Structure 1
């Protein structure tokens, strides 16, 4: 099992940041450009336990994952979403997105990813992994949201 946890500060209010993580597919696509569609399979009133079929495109290859929402918090100063899915029938992925209001104009974004291989051999390969992909994702998220917020402010 490999776990990464990183945080970054985003210069935008928490309510502006949240739809990029949950609830607005068009905004979500801006930080997850390979996600092309989502369909709710099972909707739970409390959100936890809901199932979402997510379609993902990597080059010409299209895959679908069934995401299970394990955690959902939507408070004024703290919001969180934790999802789990099986990646390529090889890894059980659990991702968590937490945002916390630091001020009216700043939001702390915490991303946690846990990769649990189904095969013990894959566990060995994970030892050589680094967080480069995670950091690119964090930086892209920060830049995308800050640019969108700045554009909205200038309208």
Structure 2
């Protein structure tokens, strides 16, 4: 099993950032550009346990993943969603996106990814994994979210 946990500050209000992780597929695509679509398969009232079919573009192929929401918190100063899915029928993946308000226009974004191979032999390859993909994702998410917020602010000033 391999676990990565990284954080970055976003210069946007927590409510603005939250829509990129839950609820708005057009915004989600800005930080997850390979996501093609999402369809709720089974919606639970408390969100936890909801199952989503996600279409994901991988080169010329479109792959389907069944995502289950394992954790969901939507409070004024703290928001989190944890999802789990089976990646390529080889890895049980758990991803968590946490947002913590640090003020009116600053939000701490914490990303956690747990990658557990179905086959123990694949664990050996994880020893050589780096956090480069995680760091790149955080930086791209920060840029996309902050740029959208800046454009919104500029439009409101007009």
State the TM bucket, normalised to the shorter chain: over 0.9
Residue in structure 2 matched with residue 8 of structure 1 by the alignment: 8
- 1:53-132 alignment, distance < 5 Å: 53-132=53-132
The answer for the alignment partner of 2:42 in structure 1 is 42
Partner of 2:142: 142
Q: Secondary structure at the match of 2:97?
A: strand
- The structure 1 segments of at least 4 consecutive aligned residues displaced by more than 4 Å after TM superposition are none
Post-superposition CA distance 1:68-94 (Å, at most 9, x none): 000000000000000000000000000
Supply the distance in 2 between the matched residues of 1:11 and 1:142 (Cα, whole angstroms).
Answer: 8
**3-state SS of paired residue (2:103):** coil
Cα drift, residue 7 of structure 1: 0.3
- What is the CA RMSD across the aligned residues, in angstroms? 0.4
Gaps of 5+ in 1: none
Distance 1:60 1:69 in 2: 28
Aligned-partner Cα distance in 2 for 1:39–1:140: 25
CA distance in 1, matches of 2:16, 2:111: 17
Indicate the SS of the match to 1:23.
coil
Determine the C-alpha separation between the residues in 2 that align with 1:153 and 1:17. Answer: 14
Alpha-carbon distance in structure 2 between the residues aligned to 1:105 and 1:43:
32
Q: TM-score, normalised by structure 1?
A: 0.99
Give deviations 1:83-124, integer Å, cap 9, x for gaps. Answer: 000000000000000000000010000000000000111100
Q: Normalising by structure 2, what TM-score? A: 0.98
Q: Tell me the residue number matched to 2:20.
A: 20
